[in-house]
Structure 1
Amino acid sequence: MADELELLRRADPVPADGSHFGDGPLDHRAERHLDQLLHKSPPPRPAWPRVLRLRPPLGPSRGHRARLVWGLVAAVVVLTVTLTLVVSGPGAPPAVAAPRPLVVQADSTPVPLTLLADRAETAAADGSPSLSKGTHVQSWSMGMSEDKPPITLPEERIVRWRSDASHTELVVATDPRHPGRPVLSDAGDSPHLVEDGHVISRQTYPPSWSDAPPESPPPHEVAQLRAYLQEAAYLHTKPSTPELLEAVGVLLDHWTLGARESATLARLLADTEGLRPVGRVTDRLGRRGQAYVSAGDGPRHMLIMDPDTGTVLGLEQTATVAEPEYGLEVGDVMDYSAWMR
């Protein structure tokens, strides 16, 4: 032990008993060591398999220097692992890890849905904004297969209706969480990377005069809205809470609700059993919201609503049961939609 301590003392460029210890200038020996540390050529970058090692391969003569540069090597590891999750290499299908579920802020106070419905009705007193047909939605959906790892496909869809009852639909590959980065898409063939904002499809549809839900305007009465959602989702029996939430998604994929419609929907949700307030969240577009959870036999549904107006901001589904054959783990986000005006 004494020999090892002596080696450490000799390796210290500024020993505790040195005459220039503290804020004073370094002695000649310390200056020489510092110059070597700053200007000596760094060792060659290790190959990828060696970067993954938890500890660097230290030898007797390079242990001190390796400790100084290991922080930089660790940063390279994190960056390389992140890039490898996006692109698996030539000839291999890209793999993107599923986004983690939204996290409820631990110190937040849950807002009951009845109180949120009251706020929505107050906000709708002047009737503004108004209802409009069409939608603007950002979605993250998981694609799974038995012979490939699951992938998450981020897309943005804008649907606009014209006065002659025709409408256009624009779908682009983009992820607002990572602006400017390549985006994974499966349009047309196997999954591949495309540029951020890549147009997946741009279509114009002829006039449609259907008056069946969800093409017809949503009603302003709670009971009628419940029946409307049941018909829009093609449900022949009273919907369960998860089914009702999925029907809400169908509605919002066709309509941008006005203040009155949002208030009616908030009241309907407040009258629905099985929706538990859990607290404040920040959604994937950076918006502040209140979260309400429905946990049944299937995926866990989280509804995110504006705390002041009761507008539905998003809906998240996460896996509650692992499916190893598809690479699905408990807690993986299977589907997420964020609606905008």
Structure 2
Amino acid sequence: MADELELLRGANPVPVDGPHFGDGPLDHRAERHLDRLLHERATATATPATATAAVPRRRTRLAWGLAATAVVAALVSALLFTGQTTAPAVAAPRPLVVQTDSSPVPLKELAERAERAAADNAPALRKGTHVQAWSLAMSDKKPPITLPIERIVRWHADDSHTEIVVATDPRHPGRPVLTDEDGEPRPVEDGHVLSEQTYPRSWSDAPPQSPPPTDVAGLRAYLQEAAYSKTALTTGELLDAVGSLLGTWTLGARESATLAQLLADTAGLKPLGQVTDRLGRRGQAYVLDLPGTREMLIMDPATGAVLGLETTFTKAEPEYGVKAGDVMSYSAWMR
């Protein structure tokens, strides 16, 4: 057993002091050691187990209790004893990095760019959304686990809408993806449809179901109503409300310009510089520091459209296996 453990440690693509934190491929040395472990020791393997893992919603904590131990053990067993070397990512993704040589663009300037880009009023507002998202599952004294999904919502002429949720991770195309479909934590194939459901017409016209206004004061009131708040929203609450808006609407040029102006008039958002988001798009980053977390808003530098929103821990929570710098959640919106 000691030999197997040493080989496994040597093949580990994510050593404790490694720089890639799970996002990089195995080097040649690790591949050789892992191949030796998987094939030369095959006669000593046990019956394959079913790999499992778990996943929560944003800003929630999932307590697995004793079941978490079996989940991690089963995942390791299945990956070692079935010949599968493309393990799903079980660590928190790395936060986006701002280019050190880039110049921050003030939100006021970005809002002016967005206003100019909206002169021809194209593209137009569209009800429906397309988003790729990551969320972090945490449990007491167990490693955090991420769930990456892609969600598409399309509205129909009769005001019904269809929502499709697929398990996929653009960082690791083709690899198994973690899911808690049907309440049973386990990995599934990349592209696996988690749910596909059509909903009837909603008779409510309350925000965010109603179209967003194209004036700043109206949009601020709209987002406050969407957040079910009777008082003015804090900047953190405003960003949450923006996520709710983008979960229903794909903003047009005019709406994006209005939102950019609203954000420019909001205190607390600090420009950092240029980032490349998880879909390979260049954007400008604006951050809001909150107790224990940092919100990073990524916006298109030319049109002011919101590309993504990332929440990162700034304080370690050892009881949940979370370190400062781990990503709690991330959303990347597309047209």
> 1:176, 1:314 → 2: CA distance?
15
- The reply to whether residue 47 of structure 1 matches residue 35 of structure 2 is no
Task: Name 1:251's counterpart in structure 2.
Answer: 245
Amino acid at match of 2:4: A
Measured after TM superposition, the shift of residue 95 of structure 1 is 6.8
Task: Name 1:88's counterpart in structure 2.
Answer: 76
> 1:80, 1:322 → 2: CA distance?
37
Is the 1:87–1:95 contact (alpha carbons within 8 Å) kept by the matching residues of 2?
Answer: no
Secondary structure (helix, strand or coil) at the match of 1:237 reads coil
> 2:105, 2:74 → 1: CA distance?
38
1:199-238 CA deviation, whole Å, 9 max, x = no partner? 0000000111311001000001101101111111122321
> 1:236, 1:99 → 2: CA distance?
36
1:61-120 CA deviation, whole Å, 9 max, x = no partner? xxxxxxxxxx84355469999xx999422499x870010100000000000101100010
Instruction: Report matched runs for 1:1-341 at 5 Å.
Output: 47-50=4-7, 52=9, 72-74=28-30, 76=32, 87-90=75-78, 96-146=90-140, 148-341=142-335
Amino acid at match of 1:187: E
Amino acid at match of 2:230: H
Amino acid at match of 1:339: W
Is the 1:52–1:77 contact (alpha carbons within 8 Å) kept by the matching residues of 2?
Answer: no
Is the 2:141–2:318 contact (alpha carbons within 8 Å) kept by the matching residues of 1?
Answer: no
> 1:177, 1:315 → 2: CA distance?
17
Is the 2:7–2:34 contact (alpha carbons within 8 Å) kept by the matching residues of 1?
Answer: no
Secondary structure (helix, strand or coil) at the match of 1:218 reads coil
Extract unaligned runs of 5+ from structure 2. Answer: 12-26, 38-71, 81-87
Extract unaligned runs of 5+ from structure 1. Answer: 1-45, 55-70
Q: Percent same amino acid at aligned positions? A: 67
1:283-329 CA deviation, whole Å, 9 max, x = no partner? 00000000000002242100000000000000000112222221121
Task: Name 2:85's counterpart in structure 1.
Answer: none
> 2:326, 2:282 → 1: CA distance?
22
Secondary structure (helix, strand or coil) at the match of 1:242 reads helix
Is the 2:141–2:321 contact (alpha carbons within 8 Å) kept by the matching residues of 1?
Answer: no
Measured after TM superposition, the shift of residue 194 of structure 1 is 0.4
> 2:137, 2:167 → 1: CA distance?
15
Is the 1:95–1:149 contact (alpha carbons within 8 Å) kept by the matching residues of 2?
Answer: no
TM-score by length of structure 1 reads 0.76
Moved more, 263-272 or 294-303: 294-303
Measured after TM superposition, the shift of residue 146 of structure 1 is 2.2
Coordinate RMSD, CA, aligned: 2.7
Is the 1:292–1:304 contact (alpha carbons within 8 Å) kept by the matching residues of 2?
Answer: yes
> 1:115, 1:86 → 2: CA distance?
52
Measured after TM superposition, the shift of residue 148 of structure 1 is 3.6
> 1:326, 1:95 → 2: CA distance?
17
Amino acid at match of 2:29: V
CA 330–124 in structure 1, closer or farther in 2 if over 3 Å, else same: same
Secondary structure (helix, strand or coil) at the match of 1:226 reads helix
Equivalenced residues, count:
278
TM-score by length of structure 2 reads 0.77
> 2:286, 2:311 → 1: CA distance?
12
1:131-177 CA deviation, whole Å, 9 max, x = no partner? 01110000000112226422100000000001111000000000111
Secondary structure (helix, strand or coil) at the match of 2:255 reads helix
Secondary structure (helix, strand or coil) at the match of 1:138 reads strand
> 1:259, 1:334 → 2: CA distance?
30
CA 76–238 in structure 1, closer or farther in 2 if over 3 Å, else same: farther
